[in-house]
Amino acid sequence: MFQPLGFEQRSVITSLGRMVYYTNTDAPWQDNATTNQEKDTLVFLHGFGGGSSAYEWSKLYPAFATEYRIIAPDLIGWGRSEHPARDYIIPDYLTTIQEFLQQTCNGSVRVIASSLTAAFTIRVAIAHPELFKSLILTTPAGLSDFGEDYSRSLFAQIANVPIVDRLLYSAGVATSNGIRSFLEQRQFAQPSRVYDEIVEAYLESAQQPNAEYAALSFLRGNLCFDLSVYIQQLTTPTAILWGEKSQFTGPEIGRRLAQMNPQAIRVFQQIDDVGLTPHLELPAVTVGLIRRFLALLDEVS
């Protein structure tokens, strides 16, 4: 899988298995004057979907590698991390995200996360606020927010049919055409922004042994929840970015969530003409916004 210049692969063991992560250890990011351990840590957590992995953030996190110690994991069931053959449930990710942060970070850290994983991260921050200095989240949605329940959708119902679910994954998700079609039609606002390297990175992750277990748990709606039930408990300073053309949950959902807790959620920023992953569609724009929000949240944390 794609690995940026100067980054190496490491791993830790969680209660569900080995989690791989990428961190800046080599030139051009390190020098003799400053060691990686002396830098503040910036953690990037990818979202869910067929072929998801830390690659999702790989066009962004090198831009911060001079100033920060970067940690970008493949979550359990995705990328190069372990893929237990199980039906995943919400506590699996709440627990492994917590364990990962406790094993790789010292003290509170800044975390950048996307989509459903961003919603999970909010719940981890509520339960363990001592782990977090600030949050920058792109499209943090539980996919059942305010009663708009993805698990009742036709696609989720099809993914719940035995045998059909495996056929759906092998023929419709874990193929080059399937991934390209999904990225162009559902994840990106502009199909022309999907290029071969993105498709290849998602395909490699989607074809890992047992990769279908986590993906199908997501597609069935087993990992969905109503974030609005929890959002008012968040105390960590937070900024939210939301793609204008996100097809799964539009910006109106994000604004409603942000308005429920203005004490913690200091910024809500819509990004025009992008979909679910602005950091893949318009990485330079997203880098600029993250830099701005890191500084703003540092002032209030």
How far out from the chain centre does Cα 99 lie? 16
Angle at alpha carbon of residue 158, lines to 212 and 196, rounded to 5°: 50
Task: For residues 4-32, give the mean pLDDT.
Answer: 93
CA atoms within 13 A on the CB side of 124: 29
In a domain, 240, yes or no: yes
The CATH number for 106's domain is 3.40.50.1820
224 belongs to a structural domain: yes
- The mean per-residue pLDDT over the stretch 6-32 comes to 93
- Give me the percent of the chain exceeding a pLDDT of 90: 84
Please check whether residue 99 lies inside any domain of the structure.
yes
> Is a pLDDT exceeding 70 seen at residue 34?
no
**Percentage of residues in the chain having pLDDT higher than 70:** 97
Of 66, 151, 72, which Cα lies nearest the Cα of 117?
72
Question: 63: which residues sit within 8 A by CB, 6+ positions away?
Answer: 287
For residue 114, the SS3 value is strand
> Residue 2: inside a domain, yes or no?
no
Res. 164: pLDDT tops 70: yes
pLDDT value at 2 more than 90? no
d(CA 194, CA 101): 31
Structural domain of 129: 7-300
pLDDT of residue 176: 96
| Rounded mean pLDDT, 160-182 | 89
Over range 240-267, report the average pLDDT: 95
Domains in the chain, number: 1
Token pair belonging to 90: 């919400």
Which residues on neighbouring strands pair with residue 137, listed in sequence order?
A: 113, 240
Please give the pLDDT value at position 144: 93
Q: Is the pLDDT of residue 35 over 70?
A: no
The tens digit of pLDDT for each residue in 203-234 reads 999 999 999 999 999 998 999 999 999 999 99
Assigned domain for 1 exists:
no
pLDDT tens per residue, range 67-77:
999 999 999 99
> Please, which pLDDT band fits residue 30 given cuts at 50, 70 and 90?
confident
Is 174 contained in some domain?
Answer: yes
